[in-house]
Amino acid sequence: MVRVMASGVFDILHPGHVLFLQEAKKLGDELVVVVARDSTAEKFKHKPIMPEHTRKFLVESLKPVDHAVLGHEDDMYRTVEEIKPDIIVLGYDQRFKEEEIEEECRRRGLDVRVIRLKKYGDSDLNGTRKIIYKIVERMEDLYAKDRNR
């Protein structure tokens, strides 16, 4: 049995998230997804729009996902030690370096392979920020129409 671990913020689920998790699932028998805590997301990316428990609920509802867990705020490798994956999958845009993760896992006695997936699809809805900008743009259009009435 090959256990695959993927992680992310997963704020405003979009096709890019689903494609990422579908590709991750193809690499093994079980997919465990680590959803970033609100504080971690805010520290490294942005303040999430949806709270961590809602994001976890949505992720664990997706077909490719066998289990979803909330990550640890203090040490991401604690989560890796608990899950004990055979493979850690990184998205094309995640800031981590494969070699550094593999080295730290080895230091902690874990035999883990790290694989970076390529970008899938090129939709204007394949990114949380893209979706937010599109909503803001539409809202500005609506306000402009209201002002012109």
Give me the pLDDT at residue 92, please.
86
Looking at every residue in the chain, the average pLDDT score rounds to 90
Q: What are residue 148's phi and psi, to 5 degrees?
A: -85, 0
Least confident of 29-43, 84-98, 104-118, 131-145: 131-145
**What confidence category does residue 55 fall into, taking pLDDT thresholds of 50, 70 and 90?**
very high
CA distance 129 to 116: 21
Asked whether residue 24 carries a pLDDT value surpassing 60, the answer given is: yes
CA distance 36 to 149: 44
Q: Where are the domains of the chain?
A: 3-119
State in words which class domain 3-119 has. alpha beta
pTM: 0.85
CA distance 54 to 17: 15
Give me the pLDDT at residue 83, please.
97
